[in-house]
Amino acid sequence: MEEVAIQSASIQLDQFLKWAGAAQTGGHAKLMISEGFITINGEKETRRSRKLLPGDEIQVRNIGLYKIVKE
């Protein structure tokens, strides 16, 4: 599991995927989300604007598992 630090109180899912390096572009992030490649805390997520908070665990199919921590 890779820990990813954020400075703000929350971050949107699509922005997080780019920040963490799981997606190369915003379009790539959108495609990954819409195709069902993302689970948050064990539940599938298809909303790009889902707000993520420190402590959330994000699984990206075929890429890895990330945990958000507060910087």
**What is the tens place of the pLDDT at every residue in 9-58?**
999 999 999 999 999 999 999 999 999 999 999 999 999 999 999 999 99
Strand partners, 51: 12
Question: Which residues are CB-neighbours of 70 under 8 A, at least 6 positions away?
Answer: 5, 6, 54
| Predicted local confidence at residue 34, as pLDDT | 95
| Predicted local confidence at residue 18, as pLDDT | 94
Span 2-70: which CATH code? Answer: 3.10.290.10
Query: Per-domain residue ranges for the chain?
Result: 2-70
Is the pLDDT assigned to residue 71 strictly greater than 90?
no
Dist. CA 60–CA 52, nearest whole Å: 14
